[in-house]
Structure 1
Amino acid sequence: MADPLFGWDLTFKTVEKDVKRKADVIVAFIHWNLTKRGFRSIGIGDERTLSGDEERSELLPTGWNDKDNYALRYVFENKLFILHALSTDGNLIINLMRSEDLAVSNIALKIDDTVKEQKGSIDKMIPSHKELIYQVKRDLIDTVTEKSTVTAETQTSRPESSNRRPEDPLRVPGRPGIVSDPPGLCSLFWLPTASPPHIPSLGRSDLDPFAPSGSGGMLYNPFEPRRDIENPGLGIPGGLPRGAVPPGARFDPFGPPGGPMPGARRPAPPDADHLPPPGFNDNMFM
C-alpha cells in the first residue's frame, strides 16, 4: 500500500531553512498536497491570467513566505488556480480559487492547535496530519477540481435498426390536444382517425376514453342517448310504478335498450353488436 506521506520529507527539506513561523508549515503542507494531485507552482501573486509560457515546478517559488499573507499561483489541467492564506487572530484562512469562473473553496485552521513544532518529523510538527490531509483533499481541493456529476442527455440520433418491426396500422399520430408518447412506446391514446378498408371500426369507442356519446362500441353505456331513461321499466309488462326509481339513480332496464314499449309498434334501432357474425352456428340447440 502506498505511503500517504510519500514525498513530504523531501518537500519540507527544500523549504525548511525558509520557515519563519508556524503558518509557513501549514502552507508548505498544503502545497505538498496540491503537488501530489497534479498541481504545479508557477510563482507568487494573484494575477488571474496565463501567458502559457510559465515555468511549472513542484517546488515552492522564491519569496513564497516573505509577506504575512500568502498568494501562490498553480496550474492544474491547464487551468489557473490561486491559493490565498490569510493569518488573523491566531487562525489561518486558506482559499483556493479557480480563476476561469472564480469558484472558491476554503478551510480555516487554528495555527497553534494545528502546528506544534516548526521543525522535526511530521508527527511532532502536525500531530493531526492524517485528519488534515483528509480535510485539505475534501474541502479545499476536491471542491474546485471534481468534474460535475450532472449528466446531460446527448442529443444524437440513433441509427435505424435493421430488424425494425413492421408499422402497426393502429399506430398513427395521437388525437389533437393529447401529448403523444415517444416513438417506440405503446399508448392507448394513439387511436386511428380512420379505419383501414380491411379493418372495421366496431368497438373503436371502447378504446377511447374521450369518445363522444353515441359513437358506437361493443360495451353498453347505460347513459348513452339511446337508453330510455324516462322508461326504467322497459321490458316489464305494464312497466314499473311511478317513483320506483329515484330521480338520478342508476337503473339498468330489464329489457334491451331502445326496445318497444308495451303496445307500441316502434321498431328497435339497429344494433349489430348483439348479433352473431355471418355464418356463425354454435349448434347449441342440437
Structure 2
Amino acid sequence: MSGDLLFGWDLTFKTIERDIRRKSDILVAFIHWNLIRRGFRSIGVGDERTLTGEEERSELLPTGWHDKDTYIIRYLLEDKLYILHALNTDGNLIFNLMRSDDLAVSNIALNIEDTVTEMSGPIDKMMPYHKDLIYNLKRDLIDTITSKPTTTTETQTSRSNTSRIPSDDPLRVPPRPRPSARPDIPDPWDLPPAPLNIGRSDLDPFAPGGGGMIFNPFAPGRNPDDPGLGIPGGLPRGAVPPGARFDPFGPPAVGPRPGRRPGPPDADHFPPPGFNDHMFM
C-alpha cells in the first residue's frame, strides 16, 4: 500500500538530488511530484500567461526551477495553463496554484522545518508526515481548483436568464391594457361608479351596496349644471364648460338661491334678544 501511494517519488527525487540546496527545494519537488501524479505536466518557469501551442510537456522539473528564492513553475492540465508560485516567508512556504483562464487560485501554507526534517534518505526520514501532506495537498491545493468549473460566457448567459422574473409570477404587476374599441366593455382600471346615497353604508350596516364616503358631484340626482353651490349668488351659467369635471364649492340648498324665496329659519337657532313667546307661563 505504501509503495502504491509513493509510486514515482523515488525517481523524481533521484533526478533532482544533486540540485537540492535547501529544505524548501525538497518541499517544492514533493508538490511537483503530486501535481504530476494527477495529470499536470511542466512546461517551464516564469509567470507568462500566454501559450504558443508549441510548449514541450514534461514530468521533470524544468531547468532553473530553484534558481531564485521564489519558485514559479508553469504547468498544463487538459490544455489549461496553471502557474505554481511558492514564496518563502518567516520559515513558511506559501504555495499558490493559479488557473490562467479565469485567475482562480488555490493555496496552502507549510512550515518548512516541521515538514522537512532531513535533506536526504528515505521519505519516512525526510518527511515523517508525508501521508498527511499528500492528503492536504490533494484537498486544499489541487482538487480545490481543478474541480471548480471555468467561468464562460455560456454560463454567465444562463445565469442571467434564470435570474429573470418568470412570466407567471403572481407578484408581478400586469401592464395596463389598451382601451377597448367597444364601449360596452368596461376598462378594468377604471374606478367603480360612485354611490347614490352618500355616507349611508357608513351609518346603516344593512344598507344595499354602495354609499360610503365617496362623493360624486355628477351622480344622478345631483345638479352638474349648477356648480356654484355654496357661493352667495352662485356662478353665472356657462362659467363651467358642459361635461367638465367640477366639484361644487359647497353642499346643496345652502344659502338663498337667485330668484327664490329664502327657506325658513332653522328651528334650532337662538331667539333674538328680548324675544319671549310666553310658551312657559
TM-score category, normalised to shorter length: 0.5 to 0.7
Within 5 Å, which residues of 2 pair with 1:1-286? 3-145=4-146, 146-148=148-150, 151-152=155-156, 154=158, 182=167, 210-214=189-193, 225-231=194-200, 249=202, 251-254=204-207
Structure with greater proportional helix content: 2
Residues 7 and 188 from structure 1, CA distance in 2 versus in 1: closer, same or farther, beyond 3 angstroms? same
SS at match of 1:94: strand
Is the Cα–Cα contact under 8 Å of residues 99 and 145 in structure 2 kept in the other structure?
yes
Distance 1:188 1:44 in 2: 60
Letter in 2 for 1:253: F
Letter in 1 for 2:195: R
Distance 1:64 1:152 in 2: 38
Residues 19 and 230 from structure 1, CA distance in 2 versus in 1: closer, same or farther, beyond 3 angstroms? closer
Query: Could you say what the CA RMSD is over the residues aligned between the two structures, in angstroms?
Result: 4.3
Distance 1:255 1:56 in 2: 90
Residues 191 and 35 from structure 1, CA distance in 2 versus in 1: closer, same or farther, beyond 3 angstroms? same
| 1:130 CA drift (Å) | 3.2
| 1:27 CA drift (Å) | 0.5
Q: Deviations over 1:50-91 (max 9, x none)?
A: 222121011112343344432222122323322222323322
Distance 1:255 1:97 in 2: 77
| 1:47 CA drift (Å) | 3.4
Distance 1:140 1:46 in 2: 18
Distance 1:66 1:189 in 2: 69
SS at match of 1:64: coil
| 1:38 CA drift (Å) | 1.8
Is the Cα–Cα contact under 8 Å of residues 102 and 151 in structure 2 kept in the other structure?
no
| Structure-1 residue corresponding to 2:263 | none
SS at match of 1:23: helix
Distance 2:47 2:209 in 1: 92
Distance 1:149 1:193 in 2: 44
Residues 141 and 254 from structure 1, CA distance in 2 versus in 1: closer, same or farther, beyond 3 angstroms? same
| Unaligned segments of structure 2, at least 5 residues | 160-164, 212-281
Residues 105 and 213 from structure 1, CA distance in 2 versus in 1: closer, same or farther, beyond 3 angstroms? same
| 1:11 CA drift (Å) | 2.6
Is the Cα–Cα contact under 8 Å of residues 80 and 99 in structure 2 kept in the other structure?
yes
Distance 1:65 1:125 in 2: 19
Residues 251 and 119 from structure 1, CA distance in 2 versus in 1: closer, same or farther, beyond 3 angstroms? farther
SS at match of 1:73: strand
Q: Deviations over 1:232-278 (max 9, x none)?
A: 6xxxxxxxxxxxxxxxx4643346779xxxxxxxxxxxxxxxxxxxx
| Structure-2 residue corresponding to 1:237 | none
| Unaligned segments of structure 1, at least 5 residues | 156-179, 215-224, 233-248, 259-286
How many residue pairs get aligned? The number is 204
Residues 111 and 250 from structure 1, CA distance in 2 versus in 1: closer, same or farther, beyond 3 angstroms? farther
Is the Cα–Cα contact under 8 Å of residues 108 and 141 in structure 2 kept in the other structure?
yes
SS at match of 1:29: helix
| 1:13 CA drift (Å) | 3.3
